[in-house]
Amino acid sequence: MKDQSTLLSVRNLRTEFQTQNGPVKVVDGVSFDVGRGKIVGLVGESGSGKSMTALSLMGLVSSPPGKVSADGVFLDGTNLTQLHPDEMRRKRGREVSMVFQEPMTSLNPVKTMVQQVGEPLAIHTDMGRRAIRENVLRMFETVGIPEPAARLDVYPHQLSGGLRQRAMIAMGLICEPKLLIADEPTTALDVTTQAQILRLMMALRDRVGTAIIMITHDLGIIAEMCDEVNVMYAGQIVEQASVFDLFDRPSHPYTRGLLASIPKATEKRTTERLNSIPGVVPNLAKLPQGCRFHPRCGDAMPVCQVQQPELTDLGNGHKARCWLHNKQGGKL
Ligand code: SF4
């Protein structure tokens, strides 16, 4: 861990899957920090490795076929990579929890909301049923579920998508974790509910002090919520900066493409709008030689096709993985 203000320190995280054609690296050398109470974004298109980074941090990648390794993943000084699976299970829900994109797939359809939202308390504390019920009720109030008492004993299908997502956030926060990982928590919601959920998460961060890793394909959400941001492409971080620096001086051509894709206020928000970058994220089993972005990059130089750039410090903690910012760039 770097200092007292750093809650999470991820160093050289690597995740690979065994396939018939050999190992495929889906997360390749990812390093970043999350400060206490900070909101840090992981942004990129589908297949960039951002969700797999989160699942790897949470110890939720099944092995086999997956294999996660790292120089260290330090949460408040504890190296999570050295924990026994039982110890990691105890950390999950208590110290670090995760909210997924589509609550219907994460919620159990045959359990009531109070049973599910209260489950982390049942697992991680010695609270009795009555105390758990009271806590869930309080948390439902906190996350803005109307008529909270009437929602305790209903099943997930009896709630709207927005209320299910609020309930998921309630479940993620009920043990007041140090870190919440939110994976596209608003993508399946309408724009109004999306804005409410984002405001709610920021308010909870301010009130409870929980740090948040916000995973999204949407730089608009990053701009609204995050303190720092990591842009991911093909399993790697290609740009890392404070949110101010990223929007003020985007330095990687991929980031500039993402920024150009942010819809105007008058345009409909959809998940398919990253269309100003030509081409698609490469197949991770057949990565291009050199810079992984070069087949889609309008700034590509000869060196880009043969040599992979390292993440280079541009000053003030702003880093980019691009030969445009490396003195060796363009020498080939
Ligand atoms: Fe484009 Fe080259 Fe930079 Fe890759 S290294 S992003 S191909 S300029």
The 10s digit of each residue's pLDDT in 131-163 is 999 999 999 998 889 999 999 999 999 999 889
User: Which residues are bridge partners to 240 per DSSP?
Assistant: 230, 319
- b/e code 175-206 from CB counts within 10 Å (16+ = b): bebbbbbbbbbbbbbeeebbebbbebbeebbe
Q: Is 293 in the pocket of ligand 1 (CB under 6 A)?
A: yes
Name the residue of 297, 307, 327 whose CB sits within 8 Å of the most ligand 1 atoms, as the mutation to test its pocket. Answer: 297
- pTM across the whole model: 0.90
Ligand 1 center to residue 228 CA distance, Å? 23
Tokens of 85: 């699976």
Give 37-96 pLDDT, tens digit per residue.
Answer: 999 999 998 889 999 999 999 888 988 889 999 999 999 999 999 999 889 988 888 899
Tokens of 183: 């994976």
Name the residue of 287, 293, 303, 327 whose CB sits within 8 Å of the most ligand 1 atoms, as the mutation to test its pocket. Answer: 293
Atom of ligand 1 nearest to the CA of 304: 2
Name the residue of 322, 325, 332 whose CB sits within 8 Å of the most ligand 1 atoms, as the mutation to test its pocket. Answer: 322
Which element (helix H / strand E) includes 223?
A: helix 219-225
Alpha-carbon gap, residue 268 to 250, rounded angstroms: 24
Count of H-run helices and E-run strands, the chain:
12, 13
- In the chain, the amino acid numbered 140 is F
Spell out the residues 6+ positions from residue 182 whose beta carbon is closer than 8 angstroms to its own.
Answer: 98, 99, 169, 172, 201, 212, 213, 214, 215
Atom of ligand 1 nearest to the CA of 253: 6
Q: What is the mean pLDDT of each run of 10 residues along the chain (332 residues)?
A: 78 93 92 96 92 92 90 94 89 88 79 95 93 95 92 95 89 90 85 85 87 93 94 97 96 93 59 64 90 95 94 94 79 50
